[in-house]
Structure 1
């Protein structure tokens, strides 16, 4: 069968699928390895990478770092059977922005030398204790969704039918251990699962946590296991029905709280159990004891969300990170296990006085908002200490928190925040990143990623956590931006993938060499020595293709009308001449928690230049990695300030004759918040932007969820003007044809298609023209390759014809 050919406006040649994907910046999947895990005892490195000759189908690979060749090998021969994922797994991948197929996650148990991974939608244990070349693979009964491993490596847990189940690995016997959900009375009450808000807006992807300690049952002497879990009840959360793409009128029901509506309610619970006598019978009884915490609102009436939870390393207490509805008040609350009771809900009202007061380890307030991140960790061998991060200084920094027994005499000492010179805060105007931190308790060192060198680059740093104002040492290569950083648990190696705007991505392993004889000065910091590069044949092939006809972008900055420094980037077409004016496409996001202008190689952000356009990107106020004040310009004003910076950036390039932009032929294109900004650009400044390409846009913040919208805009009733001015229909759209293009997936459960319906209704009533492209089977992103080609090709041809 002859392969399909594709036509570009104004070109005679026809292109095949791979050629058009390359030109559109949509090559089918990244080859760069990721999810690195070091096996310290065997000196192996495990990671996810493409199956040979199958782009975007991932498998677990390994490198024997003892070998001279450092050859990449698959851990086993994986054959993808294209098994349909459960709806829970599909939505989890949407929340985690997982675009790959095949094996997309694995858990390595360092102590017991095995890997747990979902293989074709089945849980499997991959035993590598005896041999890495011939691992023993055993299928485990159970579901793949939200699976975890017990502390002793003997049990796999998972979520099934909205409750927690376990499987004894030795017998493959499966047991249900929670009973929160039932279709008749508690259809929307879940144990260990997570509602949309927690996963999408707070990046909490689980609702249960194994105790790090396996206890002993007093009665039987058998191992006793304990899991802390959240019982989340979405009964009162509004229902949202999205039509499926079949022909029978079916819909999928979601729980989705719009701004100002009711959120879910969470109860904190424990379940302890002892496995029955060794058996293979599925119906054998398991001894279960459930207990729960009292209603947190009795002590914390302001608390709306439980954004983080887990155990202290000794297993004596649970920690809960509480956040209020406006996301301006946070507390880290400690819950000793003796506080849990078998049933607080049955207690009489008079017993409320007997409820113990929970200790608060950390409490913070702000007039802006609190960004919830992962960069905190309890110390394991040093009791009663925690490394914490916050933005109380205006930028995220690390602090050492200490306390006495029973959580008294709490002290906080800055780690990365310099206190040497109170008159010069410039040295503190950088961000510790939201990634996990790594603590070497033996040497009193903490490793973290951040932007100390420049806000345009991420680097790995190390500093002492026991001595304030210690040197902060960069370990990663300068003048590059680093990602996918992982450190071995013995702190002897780290790996990073890095690039800059002129250099394609490289993945390199480094040795960390210490002078452990000198503990009193900065010589305790490691020396970094390059060990080897990870060379992937597929990766080399991709990079060769990507280098074709691509000019190196140039980063620029300017002061906006408020005196704030704004960063941008432009890329010129390969045939660029200063004597000619060029049509230009502004690629925009412009919303919080995202930064698109960085010193890194990113081909997809440059692909418009393949078709003769200048491409421009600008991070307006509100974007990430510039500090809380920079972000706060959009507080209660989303949609009112972003386009000003985009226009001022274009004027800076034109007014200073930096690039030859044809000011009568400027388009703007973006997805999600970038789609929203594209709508705002064509309606607020139609004199600047001739065409807007708006993908999956929010059109009115009343149509988006509580967790995100209220963080930045407050609740609708308390910010009436802000919501009015942030509504895209408040502005006037152009009357000319071909200036507004809307694209949206009908299955989008994040930014619902109702947003596009809302704007279309307004355009129809006001007699304004538009072009609509719908994708019946796509959600918020476009996953299907044919759909990506269809949309990408349509957009390019539309711009070539009309810009």
Structure 2
């Protein structure tokens, strides 16, 4: 579950908002998530106000102290502000966010590639970023990188979402993908085959580009290194080698390590395409409705961040694959009310695993690509039980050690036991390497990393060992293990979190990670020694320099890295830096708002003020205030809107540009509202104790903390206690509706978008992680944590919004709440979108939604 409406992802694709970003780092990553920069000021010992380094009340683009609109007199600015339309909220990309994304280095680091959408559109193409050590410079005297187009989508391919297969539409939903054109690309990692390739075939190295109508390849010749102006050549355009149609979509194409094969899934079966020969072999043949090979089941994609369901062995001769079986799960039908009355397209069926019901049955097999009949099943047998707490319910991770051992991570139904197990690929027999138990829950991550050649200082070889991330001490940290599962010690430690493991330089015994060492609302790159097995936090070295949020991509030689940095006063800026000292070498993308995009200037936008508030139990809560212009609206108190998510696994307040370009918040601020955000207990990047405050009782401490935040504003004469509203989406929609029931004396109006209204109607993996098993916590499921149960207590005005084909939080949630409100004779407003899923996408729908939200608060506050 995620906060999607008015997506706050500064990447123009509006990607998935997850905290922590524990992606695998290395050569290719979805290049960044943003958070921001401020300098601490002071109030008292309990609360402090942090002011961004820019002049907080100086609007972007202004040339006079009074503001950037009209003549500078309040009456002129007020008239200008009043003319601003809600269309300003919905246009993508957001101001300052038209930057390259998805950086990756080619094999060996010859060139640096990126996806780039120029001209303020969502249409992306693949570019080579030419790093320069000299030449034209920016204002800071850094050389400027050049961009060359490497590949563009063939005419008509991937230009809109109208003609995608259902499978592709749902994949984009799981990723919260808004981009068009080329949205993914992958490098082959091997040189050309030793024998000549047949005429018309593709030789590696090549770039693979999946598009809706098939898989395309582009062979390239690479020379030099990216840091010194590496070059590339290609004699051909993109060539389609695996065709796809809406009836036969090609899903999850994956290049083998030797670059000679591409695996993919079509209609539930696994296939292998041999690149040099141009031939395809079917590897499985038992797919049927509800039985699928090689893909991840719904909860693995939505809740476990496992996107794929098959994995190449290091030698490229075998494929491990997951087979999931949902034939025993009753279909949940979603009607397309604007489609035909019957037949194809009238409805879609989903085997949705509801709380307390059976999960998908998952097993893992290994198939030799040259002799598929030799398939071997491992002894994993996960899922298919009804929440009885039995062992081995989920398979969140699968992969291979470099020496050919297969591994998997396994979770129990309660998600309080997590195992790392290895398998013999020939027999399927297992051995347990690590077992972790907790009384809270295990947050899955992607920080596990096998070692292939590391030798410790005492000469001990750790080939076959691995790094493992755990929250056993309350914060996510890294631990070093031998091949047989013996823990040698804790490599990082302290009251801070490791967000991601970005790279391991085994030859030097160094690891690079991103985390919260210096601030829980910042993100930086750090370096530590693998030999630091006593976990001495003092031996961690910070690499990135500027305050704010940094997302990095390391080059394969561990000499340089790409740094994507932003803060409340700094749009995303991308530099090519030295890994040894963090110093910038070349400017890839200057972080500026294009002069043609005057939205921030017209809104008189300023970075929000960052504050801290104490919860009732003394926990520090981070907040952000969007304060109206006092020269137009006076010193306060103001009518106030709380923008809320509030759920676990998400952080909304950080030192980031994305706070500044929350266009809905800025629009409300420009119209005289004070907008407030607060990360309550239960939110992420603060450690397991802070996040675990919501365990077994959602909708409790989260509401308490939001009330605390409003009271804090009232004490400072910022919020008018009679004119406070709240809005949110998904979990934020749940919070908004619950606020009217549990704190009606505080909140007078609420907008609840796609809300979960009863947790027995959501999926197993997410809900049971936090609420526990239904049969063990049924009272809480059906009472305090349920909006349905609390509906008779709702006071004030409630505005419900939902997409009618939402396959994540079903429309049924809002319908059940409507029934309860009708029974209790409670009035409400309702807006339904017949063709929208969990995240409204169509521009007319988003414009209309923002108009309705603005009118609702104008009327009711």
TM normalised by structure 2 equals: 0.79
For 1:672 and 1:319, locate their aligned partners in 2 and report how far apart those are by CA, in whole Å. Answer: 34
Q: 1:38 aligns with which of 105, 110, 113?
A: 105
Equivalent residue number for residue 51 of structure 2? none
For 1:710 and 1:111, locate their aligned partners in 2 and report how far apart those are by CA, in whole Å. Answer: 43
Of 783-792 and 252-261, the range deviating more from structure 2: 783-792
Of 243-252 and 635-644, the range deviating more from structure 2: 243-252
Work out whether 1:171 is the aligned partner of 2:277.
yes
Of 502-511 and 132-141, the range deviating more from structure 2: 132-141
Q: 2:742 aligns with which of 662, 667, 684?
A: 684
For 1:542 and 1:320, locate their aligned partners in 2 and report how far apart those are by CA, in whole Å. Answer: 50
Work out whether 1:601 is the aligned partner of 2:657.
yes
Work out whether 1:85 is the aligned partner of 2:150.
no
Equivalent residue number for residue 619 of structure 1? 679
Equivalent residue number for residue 413 of structure 2? 325
Equivalent residue number for residue 789 of structure 2? 730
For 2:365 and 2:331, locate their aligned partners in 1 and report how far apart those are by CA, in whole Å. Answer: 26
> 1:661: how far off?
1.5
3-state SS of 1:505 partner: strand
Deviations 1:625-670 (A, max 9, x none): 0100001110000012211100111111221x1x522111111000
For 1:542 and 1:239, locate their aligned partners in 2 and report how far apart those are by CA, in whole Å. Answer: 49
Work out whether 1:789 is the aligned partner of 2:847.
yes
> Are the aligned partners of 2:627 and 2:673 in contact in 1 as well (CA < 8 Å)?
yes
> Are the aligned partners of 2:188 and 2:257 in contact in 1 as well (CA < 8 Å)?
no
Could you say if the C-alpha distance between residues 75 and 636 of structure 1 is closer, same or farther in structure 2, counting changes exceeding 3 Å?
A: same
Equivalent residue number for residue 620 of structure 2? 565
> 1:180: how far off?
2.8
3-state SS of 1:725 partner: coil
> 1:61: how far off?
1.4
> 1:66: how far off?
4.5
For 1:376 and 1:42, locate their aligned partners in 2 and report how far apart those are by CA, in whole Å. Answer: 23
> Are the aligned partners of 2:218 and 2:234 in contact in 1 as well (CA < 8 Å)?
no
> Are the aligned partners of 1:32 and 1:539 in contact in 2 as well (CA < 8 Å)?
no
Q: 2:341 aligns with which of 248, 253, 256?
A: 248
Could you say if the C-alpha distance between residues 15 and 123 of structure 1 is closer, same or farther in structure 2, counting changes exceeding 3 Å?
A: farther
3-state SS of 2:374 partner: strand
Equivalent residue number for residue 646 of structure 1? 706
Could you say if the C-alpha distance between residues 297 and 74 of structure 1 is closer, same or farther in structure 2, counting changes exceeding 3 Å?
A: closer
> Are the aligned partners of 1:231 and 1:266 in contact in 2 as well (CA < 8 Å)?
yes
Name structure 1 gaps, 5 residues minimum. 1-9, 215-224, 275-285, 341-355, 418-427, 513-525
Map 1:93-108 onto structure 2 (within 5 A): 93-108=172-187
Deviations 1:561-603 (A, max 9, x none): 1111111111112345554431111000000100001011121
Equivalent residue number for residue 291 of structure 1? 376
Of 58-67 and 447-456, the range deviating more from structure 2: 58-67
For 2:596 and 2:424, locate their aligned partners in 1 and report how far apart those are by CA, in whole Å. Answer: 53
Deviations 1:508-535 (A, max 9, x none): 21122xxxxxxxxxxxxx2222012223
> Are the aligned partners of 1:447 and 1:460 in contact in 2 as well (CA < 8 Å)?
yes
Equivalent residue number for residue 59 of structure 1? 125
Q: 1:556 aligns with which of 588, 596, 611?
A: 611
> 1:268: how far off?
1.5
3-state SS of 1:148 partner: strand
Work out whether 1:411 is the aligned partner of 2:487.
yes
Work out whether 1:311 is the aligned partner of 2:379.
no
Work out whether 1:201 is the aligned partner of 2:310.
no
Q: 1:235 aligns with which of 308, 314, 327?
A: 327
3-state SS of 1:381 partner: coil
> Are the aligned partners of 1:505 and 1:601 in contact in 2 as well (CA < 8 Å)?
yes
> 1:775: how far off?
0.9
Work out whether 1:674 is the aligned partner of 2:780.
no
For 1:568 and 1:257, locate their aligned partners in 2 and report how far apart those are by CA, in whole Å. Answer: 35
> Are the aligned partners of 1:22 and 1:546 in contact in 2 as well (CA < 8 Å)?
no
Could you say if the C-alpha distance between residues 732 and 254 of structure 1 is closer, same or farther in structure 2, counting changes exceeding 3 Å?
A: closer
Q: 1:628 aligns with which of 685, 688, 691?
A: 688
Q: 1:401 aligns with which of 481, 484, 488?
A: 481
For 2:468 and 2:711, locate their aligned partners in 1 and report how far apart those are by CA, in whole Å. Answer: 42
> 1:236: how far off?
1.4
Q: 1:432 aligns with which of 498, 501, 510?
A: 498
3-state SS of 2:172 partner: helix
For 2:593 and 2:150, locate their aligned partners in 1 and report how far apart those are by CA, in whole Å. Answer: 19
Equivalent residue number for residue 492 of structure 1? 559
> 1:720: how far off?
1.9
Could you say if the C-alpha distance between residues 179 and 459 of structure 1 is closer, same or farther in structure 2, counting changes exceeding 3 Å?
A: same
For 1:38 and 1:651, locate their aligned partners in 2 and report how far apart those are by CA, in whole Å. Answer: 50
TM normalised by structure 1 equals: 0.85
> Are the aligned partners of 1:684 and 1:732 in contact in 2 as well (CA < 8 Å)?
no
> Are the aligned partners of 2:93 and 2:122 in contact in 1 as well (CA < 8 Å)?
no
Could you say if the C-alpha distance between residues 712 and 612 of structure 1 is closer, same or farther in structure 2, counting changes exceeding 3 Å?
A: same
Map 1:321-720 onto structure 2 (within 5 A): 321-340=409-428, 358-382=430-454, 383-403=463-483, 407=484, 410-417=486-493, 428-433=494-499, 435-468=500-533, 469=536, 471-483=539-551, 485-512=552-579, 526-535=580-589, 540-541=594-595, 545-548=599-602, 549-575=604-630, 579-602=635-658, 603-604=661-662, 606-607=665-666, 608-655=668-715, 657=716, 660-720=718-778
Could you say if the C-alpha distance between residues 367 and 741 of structure 1 is closer, same or farther in structure 2, counting changes exceeding 3 Å?
A: same
> Are the aligned partners of 1:163 and 1:178 in contact in 2 as well (CA < 8 Å)?
yes
> Are the aligned partners of 2:504 and 2:512 in contact in 1 as well (CA < 8 Å)?
yes
Equivalent residue number for residue 198 of structure 2? none
For 2:718 and 2:379, locate their aligned partners in 1 and report how far apart those are by CA, in whole Å. Answer: 66
Of 474-483 and 132-141, the range deviating more from structure 2: 132-141
> Are the aligned partners of 1:192 and 1:230 in contact in 2 as well (CA < 8 Å)?
yes
> 1:54: how far off?
5.2
> 1:126: how far off?
1.5
> 1:195: how far off?
1.2
> 1:114: how far off?
1.9
> 1:198: how far off?
0.7
3-state SS of 1:593 partner: coil
> 1:27: how far off?
4.9
> Are the aligned partners of 2:609 and 2:626 in contact in 1 as well (CA < 8 Å)?
yes
> 1:14: how far off?
10
For 1:301 and 1:705, locate their aligned partners in 2 and report how far apart those are by CA, in whole Å. Answer: 18
Work out whether 1:49 is the aligned partner of 2:142.
no
> 1:544: how far off?
5.5
3-state SS of 2:589 partner: coil
Could you say if the C-alpha distance between residues 502 and 733 of structure 1 is closer, same or farther in structure 2, counting changes exceeding 3 Å?
A: farther
> 1:461: how far off?
0.8
Deviations 1:97-138 (A, max 9, x none): 222122111112344432111245321111221673545332
> 1:380: how far off?
1.8
For 1:297 and 1:729, locate their aligned partners in 2 and report how far apart those are by CA, in whole Å. Answer: 33
> Are the aligned partners of 2:269 and 2:292 in contact in 1 as well (CA < 8 Å)?
yes
For 1:399 and 1:704, locate their aligned partners in 2 and report how far apart those are by CA, in whole Å. Answer: 34
For 1:390 and 1:171, locate their aligned partners in 2 and report how far apart those are by CA, in whole Å. Answer: 45
For 1:390 and 1:201, locate their aligned partners in 2 and report how far apart those are by CA, in whole Å. Answer: 19
3-state SS of 1:146 partner: strand
> Are the aligned partners of 2:187 and 2:208 in contact in 1 as well (CA < 8 Å)?
yes
Of 787-796 and 604-613, the range deviating more from structure 2: 604-613
3-state SS of 2:113 partner: strand
> Are the aligned partners of 2:107 and 2:188 in contact in 1 as well (CA < 8 Å)?
no
> 1:288: how far off?
4.2
For 2:178 and 2:255, locate their aligned partners in 1 and report how far apart those are by CA, in whole Å. Answer: 25
Could you say if the C-alpha distance between residues 542 and 752 of structure 1 is closer, same or farther in structure 2, counting changes exceeding 3 Å?
A: farther
Name structure 2 gaps, 5 residues minimum. 1-77, 136-143, 192-204, 223-230, 245-249, 384-388, 455-462
Could you say if the C-alpha distance between residues 459 and 547 of structure 1 is closer, same or farther in structure 2, counting changes exceeding 3 Å?
A: farther
